[in-house]
Amino acid sequence: MFQKFSNHIDNHFPFLKDKKLLIAISGGLDSVVLTHLCNQLKLSVSLAHCNFKLRNKESDLDEKFVIKFAQILDNHIFTIHFDTEIYAQKHKTSIQIAARKLRYQWFQELATTQQFDYILTAHHADDNLETFLINLTRGSGLEGFTGIPEKNGNIIRPLLPFSRAEILEYAKEIHLEWREDFSNASTKYIRNKIRHQIVPILIEINPSLLDSFSKTLTNLQESQQLIEDTVQEYSKEIISNEKGVVWFEISKINQLRNPKVFLYQTLKDFHFKEWDNVYELLSAQSGKQVFSNSHVLLKDRKHLILTAIQSSKLDKFLFKIEENQEEILFPIHLYFEQVDSEIIKNNQSIYTDKTLLKFPLILRKWENGDYFYPTEMQGKKKVSKYFKDEKFSLFEKENIWLLCTAENEVIWIINLRQDRRFLASKATNSPLKITYKT
């Protein structure tokens, strides 16, 4: 079995050999096998274990097991404890969704702070089938039936083509030990109901179910790719993006054979749920709007206009940035670094003389009365006048952030214009480069 696993990883993920990897390990069969495989292949791995405090003593025993396992393999391990039930109650979500959000947020934080190239998880073919069936019960677009991706950004799932039975066979061959999560035997959760009650019946009907399902997934993925390619071609003629506002030309959408499918494919990532209402905007009166929890879609005379909703709560907050901070991720992504390289002008970065800045810096929304000293101009200018001269819409102005000194002096209208008072010069020693990352 080792050779089978090894060949797949070598053929599909040859780039992992030179990368720094983080393995999500629970202590269960799948993650223990993945960790052992990666060590046998001499990949550079560290481990990350989440203790969700959901099974009392058992959760703590899982943690002790993975720590000991890491010591045996000489792998560095990161551990963390979560009050998962409290988080789920606070965010009004299920325990499973809460645990998923918490662990992936932490994995990405580790990837950033510890400079891991990829995060490896131990999902396998049975997980893929179960996810498909869950989506089937809930209703989904085609993308919900194309399976868990083997690679999604910096997350890789090397065991995805293999069944739980194959993973178990490998573990028994080499006498691996692992921890059993007895909650997996409970049918309290929908995934467990499908695993223990539905899948066995399907396998009884078709003993080669996983092989058949794999072929079906391939067909669905190819169909989804064809749809995405076609939508992308249409989008070039229909959609335009201007200063963060997306415009859809209604007359060209109506010329399509299925406008509803086009709208779904182009808007599905913006969290809309009332798709009939979205489709009806094409023939609605100007001013009609449909909201998701993050965006608003507005009917104009000839266009649908998509823009992000600005939280009124964020408008009232001041976000402080300390002198030694290198990065912030919320409410926007800014990166701070002192550089010796040549100053390169662009809207996404500014170069400042750090000796002129008073910390902590303040990140906030603009207010009436704000002014700044624009680069390449004489005198000062009101921020509101700058917006008017640039013909910014209300939507655009609501999306703009200001970076200010501790004394509330504007340093940068982010991604737009820098204040010349804090501008680095050729004589500046190691200017502070501030970059806005989308």
What does the pLDDT read at residue 327?
87
pLDDT value, residue 316: 58
Q: Which pLDDT score is estimated for 291?
A: 84
Cα 71 from Cα 29, distance rounded (Å) = 18
The Cα–Cα gap between 22 and 44 comes to 9
pLDDT at position 313 is 45
Average pLDDT of every residue of the chain: 89
Question: Residue 180 has what pLDDT?
Answer: 87
Q: Which domains does the chain have, with CATH numbers?
A: 2-205 (3.40.50.620), 216-308 (1.20.59.20), 313-437 (3.50.40.10)
Secondary structure element (H or E) that encloses residue 148, with its range: none
pLDDT < 70 positions in the chain: 243, 310-317, 341-342
Contacts of 434 (CB under 8 A, 6+ apart): 334, 335, 336, 349, 350, 351, 352, 403, 412
Question: What pLDDT shows up at residue 315?
Answer: 55
Reported as type and span, the H/E element at residue 336 is strand 333-338
